[in-house]
Structure 1
């Protein structure tokens, strides 16, 4: 490795440190690869980490046995590539933050004859567009409230209709589609809407007034809807006595830490007032880096598109790659970005406000399962706190309609939006799991890996998952849970099943009353339920297709041949004639295409 370090190029790029199993430990970027990597090591008399480095970095280098690097054109490309690879490969010593979603804005085009408020995550073309946000929560609720409280044009299509509709009859619109509504009168409502967006406390008071009216009229369901909406709108509020005495905008990022957790707070100042805020908790591990946490937070927030509102950026602490991030944002914004850590004045007061709120959030109790997940981490020897867990299971019936399911558990609940289903082509359980996990690994680029995989199976499948991850250089904890065998049959009696937990170093047999076992069983059972549900739907559809195809003279053997090749009936339907001819002959190929034309287009 020492010869490789000495021969590194003096060019921009990213470098990867790998352990003795080929797993990537750390991914870094450099303006000059040679200078950056050499800054970690003493090259004489033997290769060793420099004593001036942090204990975290020294420990990482002590595990490093090889080095890979990729040359890029400039620092900007290095930053983008580094961020992408960290998400995809989840190195042990890098920080992976999951909150990289885009935040919505509200906007209104004041050039329209009768302007409407809309949601957007991108820049809308127009000279007189006003943006408000970004909003961490409650954007849709604010928008719905404006249309409920003000007689605005309710839908985009309303004005094109040229005729008053149901909204006019319900007294929710003035009917400018047909009536000569003075624009000045209409614009008064638009101005009122803008004021409520900028001062959500006033909007909440109006909603509370309407909620009281519904309650008095015993319209309790409508009152409950408003109650929940008020709660969501209020979640992004942070009260502040700071008066900037200006109409300045700022995007502010602050990270506060205690012994076990960190709180990332994002605060958005618009026209001198706190417009909205959002926060996330992160687990503090021995590998945690505050510098990297700031970099990931900012890069993740702005993404790869120019935001509708570009504001100066304030951070609570300086961080190592601050200039890199600033250059990247300047390229993204199309103008020079402002990024600073203020030490005095009104800006510093804003920083203190953010840090105080972050500290207060850290003092709040951890989620109910936080201690349980921590005990599972200790029990199973997991390197990462299992904040996000993916669980896999498969299902089939006599080798037909073979499917797999992945369910996701995060933040105290099942994340149904994260669930995935797989049509599988392999016939044995080992091959099915290999196929499913391989496809999931291929999706890490768009959907980063979790903290933990849980497999329904034994040590053979757990080892398979580890091998697949290692072959792709990915560092990820994996455990499996297998059913207890009694007289060679799986024993799954509810409340008394002694399932076995397979970890890297141990087989764990816990009492059936153990909360840790029960939690993992709950995850496994949800994955099993998801797989069975998808299997039933697939088999029903398969049986219907198979029956109809057989009526058209296609033998079951040929149907099986087609399924083995294409995987699903949808793929057969969309296949080209030539491929069908090669598989089963021109006569049957014509019958199949005629079948889909006649039956599925009806």
Structure 2
């Protein structure tokens, strides 16, 4: 019983998890002393009930709780790290989740090199005198290319070795220097000028505009268009926020704002007294949540300084004080071996910048509400009795041809947009639709720590695949809704006619047949068809590659029958070519193994 589980809690730091009667994860929290923290949620007389001191959200959550589990950790800081990881991976019903699975690029230069070159990185680069610029929430690659077009910079390792035949130098691209034609002192001046330009990217625009005009005048419109795109990317870097501190300081600012059932976190990166980048993270609130701000600040700051990422400044200012700021400082200091400080300014320039970030968060929510039609998503949630409003959806589809080139694809849809950098595809070993989907969904569930769990999975299939998805999610612990969409069959073939297909929707409550003009059905069809397109494209590429590999084996004298045996055993041609001689001999014969050895050579 729940009351016995509460009474048996230890006096240790750790995390606790609340579950409902269906085994669904409701909430993950961390505690300095597990027994004290969990008991504070409850009233024990005359019967076990939510404490009258808790807010509406906690009261509702405790009312649904029938079971709890806990994990002991060495310290409260470790509990906070584990709590943050569990929220991201498992998406508990009553936790807020500000998703930000991206790692943002930095431009760096190693000033210890004889001829330093600028490059892009997303991780710490080895070296004692590395200078970083960023993070660039957008336009980092374009900025680097613009820098190379504006200054006589070494652009690759090949340039360092070239003596008199370095192609970029010969064709005049960016006037990249031959090392033999410039002294280290002269080159140092070029590097310093480039560093100054990175600190003020708009200074690059005049030179780029001249280059664009020259290309256009020479009717090289393709190159002119590429430079135009770089100019626009640099202009987008300009945050349109007038902040120019007298002191050339580096620091980070975070602000959280919530209104109209949305919450937004804004980050300002200030370098040399100027805002060098602005990033925002917006998500929905499931209800009016108490203690949102504390949870949101913890998540967004920890996510912004992951392990192995460069740290330009360890000084952080926040718009609001939050309960666990000391713990977050402790975690980040240990993570990066650099002293972090988190404070909330009350007056002065830092306070003004924090207020500005907070105002930007408010405006971002207003703009989001103006440009996003969330009514359909809310209608879907209510109509199908989903746990979550499906702001973030992942859709899965498989593709193969008579059991060959078996692949599966996942597409991701967030707040009205297809997020193509989070699309995923895999080569499959299984030969039937059910096992193929099992293989793909398990693969995805194992990576919720890399890309956080969505609100909804859409499966291309019927009741059997719906049950399969629910089984996998239950074993993973993730709180994700599932629907399956089964294509109408005409003459035993799937019918995909847009606006006319009578697809069947399967949910945990039963099946639904919606009118072909129903927007809910069209929403699911749109995502299903995009997953199908992505799967087919990957299948075609895979089939072409496999046909080429099969052709190599045939040309080497390997029979179709032997190829079929090897593919069945190894799954793909890459594994065949990596297999050892004795193993191939056992599967086929020595003659086939010898022919494959010749291909390897």
Q: CA contact under 8 A between 1:100 and 1:301: conserved in structure 2?
A: no
SS of match in other structure, 1:130? strand
Q: Within 1, Cα distance between the matches of 2:44 and 2:197?
A: 63
1:571 corresponds, among 575, 595, 598, to 575
Q: Distance in 2 between matches of 1:552 and 1:213?
A: 57
1:69-91 superposed Cα distances (whole Å, 9 cap, x missing partner): 11122223222222222222222
Paired position in structure 1 for 2:258: 257
2:59 is equivalent to residue 58 of structure 1: yes
Alignment of 1:420-459 (within 5 A): 420-459=424-463
Task: Map 1:117-266 to 2 at 5 A.
Answer: 117-163=118-164, 165-171=166-172, 172-173=174-175, 175-179=177-181, 181-266=182-267
Residue equivalent to 2:293: 290
Provide the rounded CA distance (Å) in 2 between the counterparts of 1:406 and 1:102: 20
Query: In 2, distance between residues paired with 1:214 and 1:571?
Result: 48
Aligned counterparts of 1:531 and 1:110: Cα–Cα separation in 2: 45
Distance 2:503 2:75 in 1: 53
- Structure 1 segment 165-564 matched on structure 2, within 5 A: 165-171=166-172, 172-173=174-175, 175-179=177-181, 181-286=182-287, 288=289, 289-305=292-308, 307-365=310-368, 366-367=370-371, 370-485=374-489, 490-538=494-542, 548=553, 556=561, 563-564=567-568
Separation (CA, whole Å) in 1 of partners of 2:594 and 2:313: 57
Per the TM alignment, residue 299 of structure 1 is displaced from its structure 2 partner at its CA by 0.9
CA apart distance, 1:8: 1.4
Partner of 2:39: 38
Q: How far off its partner does 1:478 sit?
A: 0.8
What SS does the aligned partner of 1:136 have?
coil
Contact kept in structure 1, 2:263 and 2:284, CA below 8 Å: yes
Which shows bigger deviation, 381-390 or 342-351?
Answer: 381-390
Distance 1:436 1:47, change over 3 A: same
Give the TM-score taking structure 1 as reference length: 0.89
Q: What is the alpha-carbon distance in structure 1 between the residues aligned to residue 372 and residue 220 of structure 2?
A: 34
CA contact (8 A) 2:581 2:597 kept: no
328-337 or 209-218, which deviates more: 209-218
Is the CA contact (8 Å cut-off) linking 1:8 and 1:33 kept in structure 2? yes
- Report the Cα offset of residue 408 of structure 1: 2.6
Q: Partner residue of 1:77? A: 78
Secondary structure of 1:154 counterpart = coil
CA distance in 2, matches of 1:104, 1:561: 45
For the aligned residue pairs, the C-alpha RMSD in angstroms reads 3.0
Of 65-74 and 210-219, more deviation after overlay is shown by 210-219
**C-alpha contact 2:14 2:73 (8 A) present in aligned 1:** yes
* Alpha-carbon distance, 1:330 to partner: 1.7
Task: State the shift of 1:343 in Å.
Answer: 1.8
Structure 1 stretches lacking a partner, 5+ long: none
Corresponding pairs, count:
595
Tell me the alpha carbon deviations over residues 103-125 of structure 1, each in whole angstroms, 9 at most, x when there is no partner: 22223333433332222333344
Identify the range of structure 1 (233-242 vs 560-569) with the bigger mean alpha-carbon deviation. Answer: 560-569
Segments of 5+ residues of structure 2 without an aligned counterpart are none
Question: Which residue in the other structure is 1:48 paired with?
Answer: 49
1:308-344 deviations in Å (ceiling 9; x for gaps): 3133101112223222212111212324311012222
Alpha-carbon distance between aligned partners in 2 of 1:537 and 1:233, rounded to the nearest angstrom: 35
**Contact in 2 for aligned 1:306/1:332 (Cα 8 Å):** no
d(CA) in 2 for partners of 1:243, 1:217: 40
2:29 aligns to what?
28
Task: Determine the C-alpha separation between the residues in 2 that align with 1:125 and 1:79.
Answer: 29
| Per-residue deviation, residues 180-208 of structure 1 (Å, max 9, x unmatched) | x3444433332322222112232234433
SS of structure 2 residue aligned to 1:478: strand
Looking at structure 2, the residues matched to 173 and 545 of structure 1 have their Cα atoms a distance apart, in angstroms, of: 43
SS of equivalent residue, structure 1 residue 178: helix
Deviation at 1:177, TM superposition (A): 1.7
